[in-house]
Structure formats: C-alpha cells, structure tokens
Copies of this chain bind each other. A is one copy, B any other.
Amino acid sequence: MQIAELEQRTGVNRHTLRYYEKAGLLQEVERRGNNYRDYPEKAVERVAMVRQLKALGFSLREIREVLDALRSDSIDCEQGAVLMAEKKAAVDDKIRELKQVSALLGREQQRLEDSAAALREEGRCKG
C-alpha cells in the first residue's frame, strides 16, 4: 500500500511514518519503480504497536530494540532472550510503581469526596 493509505489506516502523519522508517522502526518497506514506498499489510499492525508502546512511555530507541528482537535472528537468540527479560523486568517494575500511584490517587479521591460530602452536609470543609 502507498503512504496515504497507511496514514489513513493508522491515523499517523505521513511525515511521522517516514521519520519512523528512518529511525529503523519500520523495515520491509519496498519501493516501486517510481520510488514510491510500498508497505506490506502488516505495517498497519506494526505502526499500531509502535504507537501503543510510545503511549506507554517507551522511547523510539527502546521500541526499536524490542521490535528488532521480536523480529528474531536479527540478533542472537540468547542475546534476544536477555533483552526481552530486561525489558520485561523494567515493565514489571513500572507496573508496580504505577499501582502505588493508583492507590495514592484512590486515597486522595476518597479524601476529597469525603471532604466535599462534609461540606455539603455540615457546611464545613475538612480537606
């Protein structure tokens, strides 16, 4: 498919798609005789994955490392497994910390709700 279709199907700006390609995030981008890019179907999925990981806070560099390892044999299997384990550990650590943040936000939400209720019912503010 041409870049316009990929842009339309992923919602990602074509300049950004070219930028991702230059950054090594999109490989297997063929060129037609006229030098136009010709993306495979799975590029849609690939771009979606990049965007999801990006939204979760991964840098393009990190995303590239993971995608490279997923496309195994680009590097050694054993080395790839180590990289995956490292990334997984980082993600799991992040999950743990986010759970703490979630709990904190939940407590604060409760506190503010209680305070708002007290304000309504007793005309005073506790928080």
Contact A112 B56 (CB under 8 A): no
Does A41 have its Cβ within 8 Å of any Cβ on chain B?
no
How far, in whole Å, are A88 and B57 apart by their CA atoms in the complex? Answer: 17
Does A91 have its Cβ within 8 Å of any Cβ on chain B?
yes
Give the segment of A2-10, A20-28, A32-40, A96-104 that binds chain B: A96-104
- Cross-chain contact of A109 among B53, B55, B88, B94 (Cβ < 8 A): B88
Does A50 have its Cβ within 8 Å of any Cβ on chain B?
no
Contact A69 B108 (CB under 8 A): yes
Cross-chain pairs A/B with CB under 8 angstroms, 24 sampled = A52-B97, A56-B57, A56-B94, A57-B57, A66-B105, A72-B111, A72-B112, A72-B115, A73-B127, A76-B116, A77-B119, A77-B125, A77-B127, A78-B116, A80-B108, A81-B116, A84-B105, A84-B106, A84-B108, A84-B112, A87-B105, A88-B106, A91-B105, A95-B102
A interface residue numbers (CB < 8 A to B):
52-53, 55-57, 66, 69-70, 72-73, 76-78, 80-81, 84-85, 87-88, 91-92, 94-95, 97-99, 101-102, 105-106, 108-109, 111-113, 115-116, 119, 125, 127
